Amino acid sequence: MFERHKTLILNFILVGFIFVSRLQTFGNPLLHVDEEFYLFGGGRLLHGDLPYLQVWDRKPFGIFLLYAVFHLFGSYRVLAYQAGAMAAVWGTAWLLFRMGKTIAPATGAFVSALLYVALLNLSQGEGGQTPVFYNLLVTAAVALVLRGITQPDRKNPDRHPLLGMLLFGLAMQLKYTVVFEGIFVGLYSVVWSWLKCRSLSKTLQKSVLFAAAGLLPTFAVFCFYAAIGHSSEWVFANLESIFLRGHGPSEETYHLQLRMLRAILPLMIGLIATGFLAYKKASDPQYLYLMLWACVACLGVLVFGGWYPHYALPLYAPLALTSAPLWRWKEGRAWVVALLCVISLTGQYSLRKHRLENGNRQTFQAMLGVMSQKPGCVFVYQGPPALYDTPYWCPLTNHPFPGHFHEKIEAHATGVDVMQETHRVLAARPEYIVTEDPLPLQENLLVRKEIFLEITADYKLAYKFQGLNHSIYIYRHT
């Protein structure tokens, strides 16, 4: 009875902390262009438009399917996806707490769970970015294998790793970058199995079984597209297009790398402490296993690159967890508590800054109010894709994500000639064109020039939102 009451109290504290941490974001449809586009794509899926065909993007099918569920809530769909994200954060944090108790005192494990919640706000994880959701699946998979290690099921020893690999398969349908962690957990499970049975044939069979479980969801989606005659479109979007992207400018890359390093560097102390305990307690495999998970997650980010702030989000679950053992030392306790306080306050400042930079619900309503005065099609060259998830959406292009037009690195990576597609969109005479201030280092300036030749000739400014460092402009056809 006491244990149940303790669990309820801890859950109450955790949910309250999550709620307060994300309170500034609730109901804001302009948190980040990615999740705005996922919600729009989910809505189009409900209308029968398929990813890679009517709505092109290289993200996996699963993220649009997930957001289609949120879109079922109609006018409350923004709150729905943010509530779903909050639930995913709670689930991830609770699993981190449970795993943390295997390598640290319970209090340290719980503080590390709170640390994960606070860390998300440092890297644009206050809403529904893909890692917010797939961190839950990845953490659950890691926890299942950990349970198989510490509390083996003698009747069915493959049950936990098999379920874990299936969860990784589902996570891959939210974003493919989890593949490194999936390979690690699969290989660890295979090696652990080999050490137990010493049978090469059984180990090979299990390897095939685990790999098949991890690939099953992606294979099912591919089979669906093959069945409707569009396997080549799926292959290009999911496998080929990512390798066709260009490279960002070195100055911008350096800035983003430095920003990510600043976010994760204070967490390296916990990783070192867990590595030390893995060496001292070699008979307890959970220390080595969880330390390796954190290292592989960092390796995955290094290999994939990109360096956008939200690319750090997958690192926060394993690095927060490896901070839990610091609670064993007085200095470590002081460090983790101070870290939690500083990150929590910094995160709230970041949320305020993002709101002032990108706008909020009132900003979005003001945009819709301007467009309602003269209803017509909207083309978002550069700006919030949330404007597509409105009655003003028209299928002017099957590449509606703004970055596919204005980002220089996407010029040869989306399967269309960007200039030709721009001409085709402009020839349709959209009623509204949405732009932002130029980004000389990152932007395809040839496309921008073409857009503004049209704007200068036939459009006038109807609305301007001034953010902290950039502005959003809506031009209306004259």
pLDDT digits (tens, 9 = 90+) for 140-181: 999 999 998 888 777 787 889 999 999 999 999 999 999 999
User: pLDDT of 328-363, one tens digit each?
Assistant: 999 999 999 999 999 999 999 999 999 999 999 999
pLDDT of residue 101: 96
> CA 64 to CA 70: how far, in whole Å?
10
The answer to whether the beta carbons of residues 39 and 77 sit under 8 Å apart is: yes
Residue 265 has pLDDT above 80, yes or no: yes
- CA 472 – CA 302 distance, rounded (Å): 33
Write down the residue that tokens 């459009």 correspond to: 459
Residue 306 has a pLDDT of 62
Q: Is the pLDDT of residue 247 over 70?
A: yes
How many CA atoms does the CB half-sphere of 392 hold within 13 Å? 24
Distance CA 381, CA 290 (A): 44
Residues 366-386 have a mean pLDDT of 97
Measure the CA–CA gap between 78 and 68, rounded to whole angstroms: 12
Residue 466: phi, psi to the nearest 5?
Answer: -100, 110
Cα gap 464→213, rounded to integer Å: 50
Token pair in block for residue 287: 């220390």
Q: Dihedral sign for Cα 447, 451, 457, 460, please.
A: negative
Sign of CA pseudo-dihedral 371, 374, 380, 385: positive
Residues 6+ apart with CB under 8 A from 432: 371, 376, 377, 378, 379, 392, 462, 474, 475, 476, 477
Residues 286-321 have pLDDT tens digits of 999 999 999 999 998 888 766 688 999 999 999 999
Distance of alpha carbon 97 from alpha carbon 7, whole angstroms: 11
Report d(CA 387, CA 87) in Å as an integer: 26
> Which amino acid is present at 394?
C
Bridge partner list, 432: 378, 476
Measured N-to-C along each axis, helices 418-427 and 445-458 cross at an angle, to the nearest 10 degrees, of: 10
Segment 101-118, tens digit of pLDDT: 999 999 999 999 999 999
Position 1 scores a pLDDT of: 62
Q: What is the distance of C-alpha 400 from the center of its chain?
A: 20
Residue 52: pLDDT above 90? yes
Quote the pLDDT of residue 251.
77
Of the chain, the percentage scoring pLDDT greater than 70 comes to 99
Cβ contact 142:185 at 8 Å: yes
In this structure, of 8-22, 41-55, 246-260, 429-443, the range with the lowest mean pLDDT score is: 246-260
Indicate the pLDDT class of residue 193, thresholds 50, 70 and 90.
confident
Query: How wide is the angle at C-alpha 318 spanned by C-alphas 181 and 220, nearest 5°?
Result: 35
Q: In this predicted structure, what is the pLDDT of residue 2?
A: 63
Tell me if 33 sits within 8 A of 402, measured CB to CB. yes
